[in-house]
A and B are shown apart, each in its own frame.
Chain A
């Protein structure tokens, strides 16, 4: 079964630094997502991306966040000037079609996550 790959699995950064979280979605998937999970809390939607542009973003996704698909295979989340409260697990996901449609049983395929710790 194809996988969504996220790197690194764990990143520690100093407050105020910029971080880039990387994801390689499944190759025939067209829709990409980032989710955030603060420790012990729910998984929250950050942003969805289709056709090289943001299709929807949540209130959490403010100006310090940006996403990019730089080379047709990677999908990145950049956090400028990290804050302590950005410490969380960040999940990348992809889907074949919008609304989780497509031939995949899963609808959405999630990566294993990047645990970001801001110190």
Chain B
């Protein structure tokens, strides 16, 4: 069965620090997607990235970057030079037929 583990329950950093959110997934399928979502205090789920299991290239989007390591079943998310607006809960997820979420990491960025 699919499973996503986000071992970090809560992380606190000071603005401009870099921060990495860990995600480890389990799946028996060879084809799957990996996702990250941001959930700000307003409650909606904001899509950040979708990665196909065949594409192990790392991705960078502005201050965000993702490191996909199939060998360790990890899909970690790094925010460079964090800002107060990055404060939110971040969910990693994976799917085969349905999307399964991890428990989330609450990131607090202090000024």
Contacts and interface: CB of A to CB of B under 8 A. Distances in A.
B55 interface: no
A45 B98 contact: yes
Nearest to A112: B44
Contact of A107 (B43, B95, B102, B103): B95
Interface string B44-65: 1101001000000000000000
Contacts of A91: 45
A108 B98 CA distance: 10
Contacts, number: 57
A98 B99 contact: no
Q: How large is the interface on B (under 10, 10 to 19, 20 to 34, 35 or more residues)?
A: 20 to 34
A45 B93 CA distance: 11
B13 interface: no
Given A89-B43, A107-B33, A107-B35, A44 B101 contact: yes
A110 B101 CA distance: 13
Q: Which of A45, A48, A91: most chain B CB closer than 10 A?
A: A45
Contact of A42 (B91, B96, B97): B91
Given A48-B98, A100-B99, A107-B33, A115 B47 contact: no
Interface string A86-97: 000101010000
Nearest to A58: B98
A25 interface: no
A119 interface: no
22 contacts: A41-B103, A42-B91, A43-B45, A43-B93, A45-B98, A45-B99, A45-B100, A48-B97, A48-B98, A93-B99, A98-B97, A99-B95, A99-B96, A99-B97, A100-B50, A100-B95, A105-B47, A107-B33, A108-B95, A110-B47, A112-B44, A115-B43
Given A48-B97, A93-B99, A110 B44 contact: yes
A43 B101 contact: yes
Interface in B6-65: 31, 33, 35, 43-45, 47, 50
Contact of A106 (B47, B97, B104): B47
